[in-house]
Amino acid sequence: MPVDSNKPLQRVSVQSNHNDTIWNGAAWGAGAGIGAAGLTYGATMHGARGLSNLNYKVAGNKTVREMTRADKLKEKGKPFMSSEGIDAIHEHRMDKADAFSNKMGKVQKAGNFMFGEGPHGSLKRSMVAGATGLLGGMVTGALIDSKK
């Protein structure tokens, strides 16, 4: 074979199975663990409060729409819902919103337990939760990759 062949030199892969080692799996798992911890933080600390507020706002908006509709129907001389009926429906909606808010409060308490109280939480608890997600993801990723 001549020395000036046009075939390029082939590099030998030093890692087994083309970079598919348990460390590669651990790195992917760590990324997934940190991502899961971030999603949990956002959902428990901010999402639960936002959903609760949105639920109250929707309940109020529906009542205002019904009151406006009743006024328009009253002006046209058509049958309309009485203010007592609208108040009863509004009370029912607010009871449902209170029940939903209690459920979201439990979710937020779980977030406060994991990440600390307040809008920014506790740095120590956040680091522990992030480290737990990181370690759990690394172990899971390494185990899955080692079984391939």
User: At a CB cut-off of 8 Å and minimum separation 6, what does 122 contact?
Assistant: 115, 116
pLDDT of residue 14: 47
Cβ burial of 31 (10 Å; 0-12, 13-18, 19+) is middle
CA-to-CA distance for 58 and 81, rounded, in angstroms?
Answer: 20
What is the percent of the chain with per-residue pLDDT over 90, rounded to a whole number? 27
Sites in the chain below the pLDDT cut of 70: 1-23, 118-121, 148
